[in-house]
Structure 1
Amino acid sequence: MIKLKSHPQLNRLKIKFIIEIVAISLFVVLYYDAFDGHQKPLLLNAILIFFALAYIISDLAGMYNLYNPVQKGSLVQSLLTFSNKIRFFGLLNTISAFLFGLAVIGFFVYGIEITGTKTLLITGFFIFLVVMTFIGWRIWKRRIRSIESIFIELTSE
């Protein structure tokens, strides 16, 4: 179990979660003045804050589960439960990141005059968001496989 708690992928996930929480929190604190949030509709501000908080909450829930990997029961059952939780939080984190990205794009696009060039730029941002979401999920899958290799190693001993 010590091997699991000190696994490099888990440490990287903890650092990732902390960086994301701090960065999104700063964005939420500063966006209203820095990006003229007061000039946008209340609903748009609420959507942006909601998805930012959803992203932060998914990170906090993921961190909580990383710090508490072992549940009651047998070690093998505990590891299986932990593996399923990591998969769930990977998916939750990926979806919440995508929705937060959409909210940010929507926030910045609202109220601008759409021209052909701006349409291409917005489309480019959206494609970039989709590609980054796909890459993010692949990174999660790689982390999950790496963590599951510890489970296989522990259960085969």
Structure 2
Amino acid sequence: MNIDDLKSEWQSAGQESLSEKELAMMTRVRNHPSLRKLRIKFMTEIVALTAFLFLFYDGLDGAQKPLIVNILLIISITIYIINNALSYYHIQNPLVSGNFREALAKQVHSLKRLAVFSLTSSVVYAATLLLFLTYQTAFTQRKYIILSALIVTFSLLFYYSWISWQRKITHFRQLEADF
């Protein structure tokens, strides 16, 4: 491509006018690629956890566990799924007000609250899952190693999740400070 072709491309760029409807669709928060990735992640989690709920009773000897352990597992998974759905809904429909700075402050506050709920529901879910898996288990050295690996893995996942939430909150704080 020579310089004249580049100049003519530059001159013709942006001359296509978009309709109001097309512009509105492009600027909608719901169409953001990050939300698409988040939606895929949440849907995958919901499908996997729902399948787990249907299979744990027979596949993981849930019938041999006490009823309270099964109920705690079901409740913790349900809370985790509901928290994810509410978080996604909140992120998809941000708070809008006339004052942009005030809206950013509210967004920072709600993200902090979402982070606490998300991390708490994750910890509760992991703890009840470990309780379910280890209840009435005769531990050997190998099983202690597996349990330790699970605890380390969960800890790393919580830490990564915490870092991710902090990054999001810091981003909105910076937007508020820059405004």
Map of 1:38 onto structure 2: 63
Distance 1:7 1:36 in 2: 42
Tell whether the 8 Å contact from 2:76 to 2:124 is kept in structure 1 after alignment.
yes
Tell me how far apart the structure 2 counterparts of residues 68 and 151 of structure 1 sit (CA, whole Å): 18
Distance in 1, matches of 2:177 and 2:33, equals 16
Change (3 A) 1:143 1:8: farther
TM (norm. structure 2) is 0.72
TM-score (norm 1): 0.80
**Structure label with greater radius of gyration:** 2
- Distance (whole Å) between structure 1 residues aligned to residue 98 and residue 83 of structure 2: 26
- Find the counterpart in structure 1 of residue 163 from structure 2: 138
Separation in structure 1 between the aligned mates of residue 34 and residue 78 of structure 2, nearest angstrom: 25
Q: Which has the higher contact order (CA 8 A, sep 6+)?
A: 1
CA distance in 2, matches of 1:36, 1:91: 32
**Percent identity over paired residues:** 27
Which residue of 2 is the match for residue 66 of structure 1?
91
Matches within 5 A, 1:105-124: 105-124=130-149
How many residue pairs are counted as aligned between the two chains? Answer: 153
Structure 1 segments unaligned to the other structure (5+ residues):
none
- 142, 145, 152: which one aligns with 1:127: 152
CA-based RMSD of the aligned residues comes to 2.5
Q: Which amino acid aligns with 1:57?
A: I
Task: Return closer, same or farther for 1:50/1:91 CA change in 2, 3 Å cut-off.
Answer: same
